[in-house]
Structure 1
Amino acid sequence: MPACVPVRAEAHPILHTISHPACGRIYRHRHILRLYKGARICYNKKQSATGAEKRKIPPMQYTIPPFGPLWTDGVFTVPTCVADRYLKLASAYQLQALLLLLRHGGSLSTRELAGALGIPERDADSIMDFWVAEGLLQNGNSPAAPAPAEPSTVQIPVVTKVPPTMGAPASLTVHPPVAEPPKPKKETLSPPRLTPRDIVTLCRENSALSDLLTEAQTVLGRTISTAEQEMLVNMHIYYELPPEVILMLLGYYRGEKEKGRSINLAYINKMANSWSEDGVRTVADADEKLLYLSGTDKLWDKVIAMTGIRHRSPTARQRQMVADWGRDFSEDMLQLACDIMKENADKPSLKYMDSVLRRWKKEGLTTPAQVQEQQQSFTAAKAKKADGRLQGKPSYDLEQIKRDTMNNTDIKF
């Protein structure tokens, strides 16, 4: 077993991990989140041995009584390949739908399937598309085809990120001043679309990917849909994130949900994309990112309390904005900016606070005393300027005003 890297339990807000003494696997507190040995994390607090560790527990043997209550309501046939090939490849919903179809003689409508499973009809069609793609079922559009003896290799499209070309040259007509050509926008490429058959084939070829989908259901505490399977597969293949890093992302997602925050897996997918672009490839990199998120979450809660804005989860841009505030200013400065915002804005506005803090940063103001001194200087200069206007030459021409008034035919007497 490779050497473990000690991690303090209190240093990580998301994962509290314990190293299994026998197999070296890492388990997560509360969710039993198994990471891979390649993560090389251990809990540096000595764990007391349990009774199960002191003695070897013999494996259990399970049997079905030949005349037990299981057979009371009759039987129906289940193909052997379902148990031999698809227990790990198919999701729980896909297996439930197939069993339901076999129970009713091999023919059910989408509405009947959706009603029995308690899901929308469009989800029922998506679930059954897996079995159609495997060649085990047929729908109204295509006949069934025999399953291939050897799985074909999925061809994941290789996308080359090419910068967009510039537009057509400007017109030859000279219009001073000449406007600068627009800067090319960064092209955003989407990950490839994967069918249920593609996902199954990839899992057959990559056991780590199959384990990832299984562990993801353990972390989330529920069955994941086909769309979620596609998202996780692309995190590993397209974004090139290791399985243990993806599981840490899912652990963060579940932790945020338990705190009552508004967060969804689409946001986690964007985080995965961002982590990939930032070069996150190890558990240590992911741990640093999660510590950063924990710090910005705490500062966000303080800003929400200061401003009185209704509590909600920050967007990626708001999170970065608050992180910049925390890096450049103290909480006293944030409170002062919040007070100025409340005095001048019609309603609480983070944008207004950001403009105030940006101006202070540009002027080099870092303490409330410096802000107060600048405000006093500004007030004194403004009063002096107003006094000079009263003593000096008027800034208006009274005779010109009279002439303009005589020529203004819009005035009604």
Structure 2
Amino acid sequence: MSDFVLKTDGTPGVTSVSNLFLDYYMPGANGEYVKVYLYLLRALNCPDISLSVAGLADVMDKTESDILRALKYWEKQGILSLECDDANTLQGIYLCTIPDPVAKKSEANATVSLRQEKETPAPKSYSPEELNAFAQQSECRQLLFVCNQYLGKTLSPSEIETILYFYDQLHFSADLIEYLVEYCVCKGSKSIHYIRTVGLAWAEAGISTVGQAKERTTTYRRNTFAIMKAFGINDRNPVDPELSYIEKWLNTYDFTLDLVLEACRRTMERLHKPNFEYADRILTRWSDQKVHNMNDVLALDQEHQKKAARRAPASQARSTGFTNFQQRDYDFDELEKQLLESQH
């Protein structure tokens, strides 16, 4: 196969794209994310383009959540940096020099011991002498008293060790720990296991101040109540297993709220009652199939319909033999629904 030469009659404008981006970052990225980045490069050399999240969403025919997901993805890759105000409103985007992943890997290998030191430490058991030393610190003593009040009981030894783990090993401030416990209790959970789960998620996210925690929890709380409402649950807070599912969908799978609500809608449409387990099956399947937005969901639906249409003629062809035999027409969706209902 011969090479070809690309030509043009006019004098084209030029948008420079780093070879590092093309070689290392573009191949593994979602195509929609790539389009957002390329558009930003184009806008960099065109001062007439007015940039906003809403404007980008209109140009790309995507939702604003899709645009923000793309921006956050590139920020994690070190391609750009997002500049936000105190209200977490996007004020600017700084396009960084494209990192060389080969050089980064070499640097990472050279500093592996340093990284290990920064990993989240495992909880340790405190000796009676150490516990007594903490009890002598006024800040620590006040912290444990406040936690007693929030949980409405005297803390057990394991609960005290969990609080001290945040204070002594993760270096959370007393104010941040108080807010952590308050937040979990207000969500309807006094379980120290759940408090530990949320606290570790904050540590992994780099949250070190109450302001950062409030920013994260405000969005999470709003999304949580939206999910409960989608299930028709308006008269109570979510319980621990439900909170674990929601945490998984929004943070582990990193799904946008509209995708989670769509899974809830399909669950209610199929079962006519809230069922977190069934919704989780839908969202786990979408995660495995690399679903990022509603367009991906619609594409899966269309593919499913095509496969069903191809199976129908084959099924009819097989039914021509043994015409005196009365075949059963099983509704597998209905059988699945009955099976789920029998388990609850």
Tell me the TM-score normalized by structure 1: 0.38
Look at both structures and tell me which one has the larger radius of gyration over its CA atoms: 1
Bigger share in helix: 2
